[in-house]
Structure 1
Amino acid sequence: MLFRDYPFRLGVAAGEPAADGFVIWTRLAPDPLDRHGGMPMAKVDVDWEVAADEGFKQIIQKGTAAARPEIGHSVHVELAGLQPARPYFYRFRIGREVSPIGRAKTLPAIGVRTDRMRFAVAGCQAWEDGLYTAFADIADQEIDFLYHYGDYIYEGRRKLMSKPGHDGRSIPVVRDHLGDELYSLDDYRLRYAQYRMDPNLQAAHRAAAWFATFDDHEVSNDWVSDHSAQGTPPELFLLRRQAAFQAYYEYMPLRRASIPMGASIQAYRRARFGDLADIHLLDTRQFRTSRPCGENFTAECDAVRDPKAQVLGSAQEAWLTSELRQKAGRWNVLAQQVMMMNLARDRDGVAGPKPTRNFDSWAGYLAPRDRLLRNLDGLGNVVVLTGDEHQNFAGELAPGDGAGKPVAVEFVSTSISSGGSGSDARYDQAQVMAANPTLKFKQDQRGYLLCDVAPDLWTSRFRTVDKVHEPGGVVSTRATFAIEHGNPKLVQA
């Protein structure tokens, strides 16, 4: 087949690593910003290869997959039969056209003694707000995998050249979104194509396999269940959600089990890393009840204590409870999207008679939050990984009012670009730290989290970028925290 341009312009990716394989992905698009990616409306066969070496002298597996127009000519190959705990290289080809080479590692075999795990945590990558400098740094790291907590795309489009930041400075539009607000499948496909053309994002995908989850902006800001924050009737919002989930599946290296069924997608799941860690990937959007108290960052109301409120939904909550009781891994990881710490913080520096909280987080759902934290009591090995806030946070988690003995720790990773370059400290830094004794660290630059895990010690490094509004940003380690196994308390290194 002759293409009018290189068909692998959106790069390659790997995901969902297991002990015997992973998913490899590409999407044929010689003209990525065209409605159909420059592809004919027909099935196209794509050859793939997996090798033990980057030069492809030792090919381990090969085959042919169909790129079908029904899923935008994306390809998801589920590999099995590979050896555990080792790197592999993969590529695709059509005739003389050969894709970039990707690299991914299989996980250690389940239950096998494992002494080390290293991975990155990243997300919130608003195209308009900044450059993907942090992804270039991730691509240079030797990691076992990356956990992406969501907001891979943003569904809106700024109408102004800048917007106000929390510190009073304006956040400029660094690069424009194509199109307007996203509603149709074509809209979402175009937005993903624009993001995927970024070279630093492509490099991070080539460097390691990803575990991907979604938050709100893959669909619509602050959505939960069939509720749109913009007041769209539920039956209409579900049509939008269906289009958004199809595009999400098309662009993520996910298994067939995650093919959307109508407006629903199977997103919660578990991965096991030898005997070192059980990684529970959660879905905090599809099954959550409506947000209480009106807008986010408003005064607390009685609805935050509603005993019928849900974040995970009853089925997912029961699944997670059962998984935690197995106590199979040395560490339990809760990889999820919205902050679990119940922080008191005043919006824009204005204090009120009641604490101001982010009700698009677990702070708006205290009953399910308390149930979950009480289930963690006694484990002594739980680390919660979160995004959404566009800031770095490190804190300890306890049931009830949070004043008791911690049962877990939480690391909130800042954004890749959302919020612009930021500053080392927001205007409310001292105020928020003083009001929340369980909070041990807060910082407001862009970047990602780098985690090194050993059987008895977990170490997390906050990697930050000094600027994302222009090229030349420098990445460095801003802070490092450690947790001893069996003692869920943070120690700054």
Structure 2
Amino acid sequence: METTTRRTVIKAGLFTGAVALTPAAVVLDSRPSAAAVPPRTDPFTLGVASGDPWPDGFVIWTRLATDPVAADGRGGIPASTYAVNWQVATDDRFANVVKAGSAKATPDGGHSVHVEVRGLEAGREYWYRFRLGRHVSRAGRALTTPALGSNPASLAMAFTSCANFPAGYFTAYRHLADEQPDLVLHLGDYLYEGAGTGVGRQHAGLQTTTLAGYRQRHAQYKTDLDLQEAHAAAPWLVVWDDHEVDNNYADDIAENASEQPGFLTRRAAAYQAYYENMPLRRSSVPAGPDMQLYRRVPWGNLANFHMLDTRQYRSDQACGDGYKDCADADDPQRSLPGTEQEAWLLDGFRRSTARWDVLGQQVFFGRRDNDPTAKTTVSMDAWDGYRASRERVTRGWIDAGVRNPVVLTGDVHAHWASDLYLDYDEPTTPVGSELITSSITSGGNGYDDPDGRHPWADWNPNLQFWTNLRGYVSTRITPTEMTADFRCVPFVTTPGAEVFTRATLVIEDGRPGIAEVNAPSAAALRRQSSEGGAGAPAAAPSDAQVIADTIAQETHDASTVPVG
């Protein structure tokens, strides 16, 4: 959609709200957009975003809305086409604009703008913004990835998941933005589809089932200023889980039989709204109820990010949802990512020359047996419910000689860390590592355990760390190690919580599994709080209550009622 012309390059005008530009700078045509009369009030109420970076560019995004939560999903914008101007600069004052152009915002696209900016330098920062008439958006920060084949020294990457608007405030997003990472991975449940109220906030509209409803819900989330800060801070790689459509859906099967009629129509509406509201490339434009979301993004030779879609193609959950002891979970015909995506992933392993191969995906990969007296009682919605599929993927990275396989996960509303094995019945030497981020708000205020250990770890030796606090994970990846800080906030039901690191984990190059866990006790954190520190987590309930809360959060997480 880049439409830079000689006129925009040499036009000696000023960009409203900008400092004066040098004569050699690229500037935007300062005349009002010709396609339609711009709105009188600010149309950039949903902020800006960038995503899907590449060595020569990235996607920049915005969506026009003067009334974001309008029930018709149109954001208060008339059914006209608008020409939205955009700029990309090498500095945050836009003194050196290097790319500029105009993109159409159409009613059929929810008045969203997706610009695939090209022709930039590899491995550097840029800033971008938009203009419509006299209105100028805030600026966002983006990065291009390092050149293919290069050897970057490090990468600062954060990942997050599960933000439920009524369950609490998005304070953790603001803290993530303050860290200014190079890259953010969002691993699903960007929003929640249900109706309801929570602590100080409530969803606009009823349960989302139509395009208007999904557009309205996305817009409501985008009005959150903490989320806007996180989007403006760095490029994002996004993938969905279930709540962007319907809790625990599987391919073309709704969670509840009563909602099955017309489900693909609903899925098409949800996918359309998701594309409209995310910084995605044209390759992800939906075709009815289908949308290409899995993709691969390299970071030089340092890392490959394999971004998976574990909803659109999965076999239905075995024996229904929930925690079960189910023989059908071993059926080799069943697949979580679907056979085509499995093949794509295994081919990516074979072709990889990266130091780190990172899977950005949604549901728990390692085993979590919740009952030591039964054979295997595990979540049918996670990889535990697709054991043959998990074994094929794991064996795939082993056979391909992947140097450092790391799985990143969301969904479960708690921080976890797990070693990965080919055979969980014979857990000898780890063959990979899994880092799981807590939610931004889902589950409401959390709690902590004195030793960072879930009760299930007593009979699941792969489980290395756990806390039921809210937050995100901040990582630093180098050729020699991946360091992960489990960042937490002590509460979400009121704004203003400080952030602190509950644990730091290290994965060493060439050594699969968690090499080091540095997790201060909850008592130490409370002492820190009493001395003016970041704030202490609440004490953990009994083991029985921890288990009950874990199962409740993951089985009924469409609820807007905070758990714990």
TM-score range, shorter chain: over 0.9
Give the whole-Å Cα distance in 2 for the aligned partners of 1:306 and 1:446.
35
Aligned counterpart in structure 1 of residue 382 of structure 2, from 361, 366, 371 = 361
Q: Distance in 1 between matches of 2:60 and 2:235?
A: 9
Tell me the alpha carbon deviations over residues 402-446 of structure 1, each in whole angstroms, 9 at most, x when there is no partner: 513211100010000000111013999552121111110011000
In the aligned structure 1, how far is the partner of 2:453 from the partner of 2:253? 33
Cα separation, 2, equivalents of 1:175 and 1:197: 13
Give the Cα–Cα distance (whole angstroms) in 2 for the partners of residues 66 and 468 of structure 1.
Answer: 38
Q: Which AA in structure 1 matches 2:227?
A: L
One of 245, 249, 269 as aligned partner of 2:295: 269
Letter matched to residue 385 of structure 1: L
Question: How far, CA to CA, are the matches of 2:259 and 2:129 in structure 1?
Answer: 44
Residue 137 of structure 2: which of 99, 102, 105 is its match?
Answer: 99
Distance in 1 between residues matched to 2:452 and 2:517, nearest whole Å: 21
Deviations 1:328-355 (A, max 9, x none): 2111001101010111125xxxx76444
The within-5 A match list for 1:78-227 is 78-158=116-196, 173-227=199-253
> How big is the shift at 1:5?
1.8
| 1:233-282 Cα deviation digits (max 9, x unpaired) | 75611010000000000000100100001101001100000110011001
User: Which residue pairs with 1:309 in the alignment?
Assistant: 334
Q: CA deviation at 1:92?
A: 0.4
Which whole-Å CA distance do the structure 1 matches of 2:352 and 2:177 have between them? Answer: 33
2:457 to 424, 433, 442: 433
3-state secondary structure, aligned to 1:451: strand
Partner residue in 2 for 1:168: none
Which residue of the partner structure matches residue 384 of structure 1? 407
2:276 match: secondary structure: helix
Query: Which residue in 1 is equivalent to 2:106?
Result: 68
Q: How many residues matched?
A: 476
Matched residue type, 2:342: E
The one of 354, 358, 372 aligned to 2:393? 372
Helix, strand or coil at the partner of 1:423: coil
Mapped to 2, the partners of 1:308 and 1:2 lie a distance apart of 54
- Say which of 272, 284, 290 aligns to 1:258: 284
The answer to which structure has the higher strand fraction is 1
Q: Does the 8 Å CA contact 1:249/1:258 hold for their aligned counterparts?
A: yes
Q: 1:293–1:359: 8 Å Cα contact kept in structure 2?
A: yes
- Check the 8 A contact 2:452/2:466 in 1, yes or no: no
Alpha-carbon separation, structure 1, partners of 2:113 and 2:46: 12
Do structure 1's residue 51 and structure 2's residue 89 form an aligned pair?
yes
Task: Give 1:399 deviation, angstroms.
Answer: 1.1
- The residue matched to 1:188 in structure 2 has which SS? helix
Q: TM-score, normalised by structure 1?
A: 0.94
User: Where in structure 1 are there 5+ consecutive unaligned residues?
Assistant: 162-171
Distance 1:277 1:104 in 2: 18
Displacement of 1:230:
0.8
* Matching residue of 2:446: 422
TM-superposition CA deviations, 1:171-224 (whole Å, max 9, x none): x53411111111100000111111000000000011111001000000000001
> Does 2:471 match 1:447?
yes
**Hey, what does 2:69 align to over in structure 1?**
33
Residue 15 (str. 1) matches residue 39 (str. 2): no
8 A contact 1:426–1:444 mirrored in 2: no
Contact kept, 8 Å, 2:452 with 2:465, in 1: the verdict is no
RMSD between superposed Cα atoms in Å: 1.6
Measure, in 1, the Cα distance between the counterparts of 2:313 and 2:450: 33
1:379, CA displacement in angstroms? 2.5
Contact 1:147 1:212 in 2 (8 A): yes
- How far apart are 1:37 and its partner, in Å? 1.2
The answer on whether the counterparts of 1:4 and 1:30 sit within 8 Å (CA) in structure 2 is no
Q: For residue 165 of structure 1, what is the aligned residue in structure 2?
A: none
Q: In structure 2, the residue corresponding to 1:54 is in which secondary structure?
A: coil
Is 1:150–1:215's contact at 8 Å kept on the other side of the alignment? yes
Q: Using the alignment, how far apart are the partners of 1:53 and 1:194 within structure 2?
A: 30
Structure 1 pair 430–41 and aligned structure 2 pair: CA distance change class (3 A): closer
In structure 1, distance between residues paired with 2:60 and 2:435: 29
Q: Give, in angstroms, the shift of residue 157 of structure 1.
A: 1.7
Which deviates further from its counterpart, 199-208 or 369-378? 369-378
**3-state SS of paired residue (2:242):** coil
Deviations 1:1-43 (A, max 9, x none): 3424211011111011111100000111111122221111111
SS of residue paired to 2:465: strand
Partner of 1:343: 368
Q: CA deviation at 1:380?
A: 3.6
Contact 2:187–2:238, Cα closer than 8 Å, also in 1: yes
Give the secondary-structure state (helix, strand or coil) at the position aligned to 1:17. Answer: strand
* Of 385, 400, 403, the match for 2:423: 400
Asked if residue 469 in structure 1 is aligned to residue 493 in structure 2, the reply is: yes
With 177-186 and 397-406 compared, the bigger mean Cα shift is at: 397-406
Q: 1:428/1:108 Cα in 2 relative to 1: closer, same or farther (>3 Å)?
A: closer
Larger CA deviation: 147-156 vs 319-328: 319-328
**Aligned CA distance change for structure 1 residues 331 and 40 (closer, same or farther; 3 Å):** same
* Match in the other structure for 1:167: none
1:104–1:207 contact (8 Å) kept in structure 2 = yes
Q: Residues of 2 paired with 1:132 and 1:60: CA distance? A: 34
Percent identity of paired positions between Structure 1 and Structure 2? 44
Q: Output the CA distance in 1 between the equivalents of 2:403 and 2:43.
A: 49
- Larger deviation: 368-377 or 98-107? 368-377
Mapped to 2, the partners of 1:180 and 1:426 lie a distance apart of 40
Pair 393,430 (structure 1): closer, same or farther in 2 beyond 3 Å:
closer
Out of 173-182 and 100-109, give the one that drifted further.
173-182
User: Deviation per CA, 1:39-61, whole angstroms, max 9, x where unpaired?
Assistant: 11111100101111111110100
Q: Is the 8 A contact 2:314 2:335 kept in 1?
A: yes
Distance in 2 (CA, whole Å) between partners of 1:456 and 1:233 is 50
Q: Deviations over 1:343-394 (max 9, x none)?
A: 1125xxxx76444311110000111111111112243410100000001110
Asked whether the equivalents of residues 225 and 289 of structure 1 are also in contact (C-alpha less than 8 Å), the reply is yes
Instruction: Give the secondary-structure state (helix, strand or coil) at the position aligned to 1:205.
Output: helix
How far apart, CA to CA, are the structure 2 residues paired with 1:455 and 1:80? 28
